[in-house]
Structures are given as C-alpha cells and as structure tokens.
Structure 1
Amino acid sequence: MKAEIIAVGTELLLGQIVNTNAQYLSQELAALGIDVYFQTVVGDNKERLKEAIRQAQGRADVLVFSGGIGPTQDDLTKDAIAEVLGRDLRNDRPAMDKIAEFFADRGVPMTDNNKRQALVIDGCTPLPNATGLAVGVAISDEAGHHYIVLPGPPSELKPMFEAEAKPWLLHQVLTDEMPLYSRILKFAGIGESALEDKLLDLIDAQTDPTIAPYAKEGEVAIRLSTKAHDIQEADKKLTALEVQIQSRLPQHMYASEDVAIEETIVKMMADLGLTVSAAESCTGGMVMESLTTVPGSAAMLRGGIVCYSNEMKEKLLNVPHDYLEGEDAPGAVSREVVEVLAEQIRMITDTDYGLSVTGVAGPGYSERKPVGLVYIGISERGSETEVFELRIKGNRDTVRKRSTKTLLYRLWLRLLQAEKQD
C-alpha cells in the first residue's frame, strides 16, 4: 500500500518552520507496512491544494494531511478535500462542545471562526484532538482512497495519530496487510560509502529483508526491514541477516538498536567497572558532554579539564613548556602534546582511561597548521598510550563533532578488547 503525505501551510514553503511532521509520519506509516512514495508541501490556497489532492489520488492509496484545520480563513484542508470528494462539511458535536467549554472555562467570548475547528466531512470518522481544539478526519472514498487529516502542531498531530489515526488504519484499511518490522544497526569508524561497499552483494540481492543505509554526522546506520505475520517471524529473518552483516564488520558495528555510541560506551564501562576522564582542547568539552547526556554516566566518568589555552595545558596538565612554545616546539596541536594530555588526565583523576584531543577547528590556521588537523589520544592503565592523527574536512562544527565521535569510537575498540579479556 502506497501513501503520500501532504503538508499544508505557506509558512512551510517560506521556510519559517521545519516540516518535522513528515519525518514522524513517514516513520510511523513505514512501521505499519505503508510505503511513503511522495511528500508534498502546499501553501494556504484551496485551488492548489485541490490540485495536489487529485495528483495524489493518482499515485497513492493513503493520503495523510497535516495542517490547515485551524480557526482562520486560510485553514482550508477540510474544505478542499470535501470539494474534491463532492461531500458537505458539518459540525462535529463533541468537538463543538469541547471548543465551547474551552472558552467558557476561560471567560472569553468564542468568535465564530473558532467553530471551523469542529468541522468534519460527511461520512467520515472524526478523530478527537486530546491536546488541541481542531478535530481530525479519517475517511475513505468509493475509489478506494483513504484520507487522514491531522493538525499541524506536532504536539497535537503525534497524539492524534497514535491514539486515533493508527487504530483507524489498522481496523479499516490494513486488514489484509502484514505489518513491517525494522531493526537498526549502528556503526562507527566507517563512512557510508565504505560501509555500502562491504555489503554491496547483500544490498544488490536484497528482497526480504531489505537493507537501507543512512548516515548522519560521525555515525552510520543500516535499517533492516521485513514484513511478517508476527514479531517472532520477523526476529528470525532480521537476526539471520544481522549475523551476516556483523560478521563482516565486527570492528565497526557497535549496536543493533538505534543508540549513539556514547550510550554503548557508558553501558560497557559500567558493566566492566571501568572509569574514564578527558582533557579537551579544540572540542571544548564535547567529549564529556556526549557522555554525560547518558543516564548512568556518573558511574564511569570521573571528570576532566577543558585546556583550551597553552597556559592551562602547562599549568593544569603538566605539558612541558618546550612542547608548546619555542622555535623547535611541536606545538599544542601535535602528537607529543596529545600524548601528555591523555596520560596526565588519567593519572590526575586516577581513572582506567584518559582521553585527549587537540587540533585546529578553524576557521583559520593555527600554529601554521591547517584546519581539520586533529590529534586524539587514549591512555590506558598498564598499557601504552595510543595517538591518532585525523584530517577532517568541513567547518568548525564538523571538525569538533567528528573529532569527538572518532575518539569515542577508538575508546569503544579498546573496551571490546577489555571485554574479551574479562
């Protein structure tokens, strides 16, 4: 079954707000086994909206609308659908009573335009709005198309879809459809193209389950999807494919659920009873911030130092002055300095691991060194300190984020070794 999402609102076209509803609805419809083939954005113009509806009727079975059902004259979604279907609009009595009660409780007169929020299309199933006033609509036509009309604010759209629209789809539309089950595999230390190359034969031969790679800053994921009668059947198929993928990329696949690598690290370190600290220069505390967003991180993160200036590197972390300044000094952005930082922060805080990072985030050169040159270090109690040189392309924010993710990835690899020895 195919779907099209139609977002209504001139503010979307002007870029005044971001269409997060489309992302949410696409994910929810996919989970129901409904394939979203098109997403359309239409301004507050009834004729253009009617044209979009007719186009969608020619290529989708389910049309899901967001926005355009408020109290003002430019809220025209229900009007346009009713005209295309040749049906009348009427007031939904429960919705009208809720609106009247809302204004009465506040002692404010209700203007006539607010009554528009109670309008529904003849023959529809009204979708009550638990967090707002505008009632939604679910309706099917004689040609086999199904329409769901939802409010624009995400705080209203999401509860309405979950509590009202999804049950309607399951009981009225998807009676013969198998649900779609998905599993997310997460990877670090490898780019999207390199990951795809390792799995190209599986991707080319995919039928069921399907494989869909996608990436965001510093990490890559694969979504495995299959249609099945129940969760047990789906798990069997998804696990068989996951095992194949994991066997090819054991040094990169860190989770079989949609979690960030820092969440995996916190759990691993807590389970192993290990601790960590960090000395950060160019990332300015981003490594520690990433870890502290995870509940339970207090058990493994002792603390750290943001040593942005040379003075702080020397004064707080005992970096030799000759490393930082002088004609023959390697400079703050160097292997020598990042090694000292990792070892000193580990000893000062008495942790199992000391992490460090120093580099040139940009926008300009520093110490006559190029933007994107970064050194990261990992000092482990009883082991030799590791230092890695990174050459990162991108702006200041990209350099800092990728440095953080790469350092966390290198820590994860060390923890894998610790798990095997435990």
Structure 2
Amino acid sequence: MRDKSMPKKTKRTKQKKNTSSNFDFINRQLSYARYLLEREEYEEMISICEPLRNRIAKHSPSYSQLLLLLGLAHLMLEHFQESYDIFTEGIELDPTKTEFWFNRGESAYHMKRIGRAVRDFDRMIELMGTHKLSGEMAQDIREIREEFQLLLQEIALTPEQYFEREDNFLAGVRAMKQSKWHEAEQLFKQIATIDPNIPSYWTNLGTALVMQNKYDEAEEAFQRALQLDPGYVLARRNLENLPALQGGEKKPDIKTVGEAELQEMQHPTSSNDKNSVDQSSASQTTFKNASGAAMNTRTRLGKLEPRYMFFLNPYLDARFTVCPLCGEKMKLRKFTLLVHVDPAYAYVTTMQCRYCPINDLLIVHKNLLEERMAAYYSKFYPDAVGNDYLVLGTLKWSEWEQKDDTFSLEEVIEHLHDFKEVVIFK
C-alpha cells in the first residue's frame, strides 16, 4: 500500500520518463546500427533502422543520423534507387550536410545518372571546400567529371541541355507512374526534340500515347525507336501489342523505360562492323565471349607480350561505366590503339577508354573510334573511308601519343601488344 505521505507522480513526470526512455532506446539502436556498419552487416542495419523512421521527429539530429545510416546500408547492398531516395530526403531536411550530397552522388552515378552525380559532388565541394577532400575522393570525382565531359562530347549537348534532358526524362517517368499520360507525352516530346536519337524516349512517348488511345501516333513513335535500334526489344514488343489494343482484345500491357534503366545514351554510329587482317603468322590468339566460348581465331602479330581483355562496344545505350564482369566502377584511361584498315593501313590513335584494373578489361566505344578514323581518313586518305578495320592491340603511350597518324604495319609491329583475348557482351 502506497504511503499517502509520498507525493503523487504527475502526468508531466511520467511523460518525461517515457520521453527519456524512448530517447535512450533510439540512441542504443543508432549505436548498434553504426556497429553493424563497421561489421558490414547491412541487411541487419536496415532491419534496425527502418522501424525507427516513425519513432524519431523528422527535424531532429537523430533522424538525420538515421537517414545517413539507412541510406548507406542500401547503397552498400546496391539498392541504388532506395539509397538515392533516402539521401534526397536527408538533403531536403538538411541541405548543408555534405554526407548526403556525396552519397546521393554515389547512388546517382551507379544508376547511370552521371549528370546528377556531378551536380551533387559539386555541391558537396561548395559546402566543404576542396582542401578537405581526401586524395582518393578527389581522384574519383575528377574521373567522373572527365567522364561527364567525354559524354557531353559524345552526345553533342551542352551541360544545360543534358541536365534538362535528364530532369525531363525522370519527370516523364514519374508522370507515367501517376497515370498523368498527357503530361508524360509533353515531356517526352520535349526531350525527343532536344535529342531525337535515343530509342527509349520514343518508346516512352509511344507508351504515353497508347494510354490516351492515340494509336497511330504511338505506332509512329515505336517505329522511330526501332529505326534507331532495330534490336530494341521493348519497342518491338509494344509495337506488336498495338493491333490487339486497337481492337479491344486485351488490356494495355505496354512496357516503359524507367528510372532504374536510365542510361547515358549516345548518337547512332556507322554499321560498318566487319573486320579483317592478314593472317601470316603461325601463333594464334583466340577470340572468346564473356562465357569463355571460342568465337574465332586471329594471328598474333605483335612482338611484345599480349595485354588486356578487349571489347569493342557497339551499343549506343550501354556505356559501361561499371565493369560487366565484376560490377566495379570502370576507370577512364588513355590508351594508344593500333588499327588495321583495309587494304594495308596501320592507323595509330590515342584516346580515352574504359578500363577495369581488376579484370584487366579494356573497352573502346565503337562510335568514338569510327568518328576519329572518319575525320582522319576523309582528310588524308579518302579512298579508305568506310573500309573494313580491326583493332589489333595497344602501343606504349609515351612513345606514340603524338602520332595520330597512319604507318606501315612493319613500322609498329615491334611495339605492338596484341590483346590477350577479345570478348563479346550481349
């Protein structure tokens, strides 16, 4: 029995005790999440952090810590859309927190939204200053900026046009998710006007038109996408579904390109893809695809030790910012390439290429190489324009970087590293 002489606990006292207890619980959970982060137990981190989102006041410092931990867990698990959304929420609540800007930039980069990544990294640097960047972080950001500049050269857009295109694409996708079909139609028409050479723009425009029963216009949009890329499965399937939709035989099941599939896309390239080379030597280099199946054989020509696994990328909607073998970010590196051009030209050029040091994989974008070759041969050897060609290997950069020119094969064979193998990614 309670002693009546003891004072009663007021409601305010009980509320204070409950608040203190909740605060202690939240701090323990956040400390445990940080411990899990060190142990790289990211799924357990999410299970700890997610329930706290409804228990912490959104404008409190603890909520900011929670978003950072939760976003990092999703980022490390490669849930890039989830991490991007969480860091965006953090930026809206506290736009001065540099960790949110940097990690959203990382998420955007892995989602192939390189323009968004560059903007986020630039904002982070504005807030913290370049002097506080670690050497590795500064190098990564510098490489991504170089990659962005290279991309702008490839697609012939200004940064402002690129950002408008990217923002409108994502706004169009969001409009489709909300069934705002007329709004989506206008957005995709706008970006298709800025850059009419991207199949996904026409495919999504066609989808928005279908959902408004504008079948004739939708058919034109899907056909335009297929003219740009005859192998574009999404556009072909949607086009094949149109007759049944027009006849009322089935409900719309039209596919779109969404945020997760957003790619850094380029202009179409030449269809000249036949390669040839004189095969006079006895030793052979095997061409293999990514699964290891033999594709072809080619004579080894170079006198130096073969280097690199090589892929000549013919795809316009895949720029391989991450390695197709290990998933790590690919580096931008300069390589001096030797190209055999029929009938007997040896073309040497130095250009930036994608490179994965983990797998020793070198990727050259076919359209960029052909643009260089076309510009050179149109000026000096017009009869060779459009001839078959084959990338033979690499030369030592320091010796050949200033020699963007044509030589006899005998002049360069002593300095040539053949490729270890040539792969095909489908």
Report the TM range for the smaller structure's normalisation: under 0.3
Task: Judging by fraction of residues, say which structure has more strand.
Answer: 1
Task: Judging by fraction of residues, say which structure has more helix.
Answer: 2
TM norm structure 1: 0.25
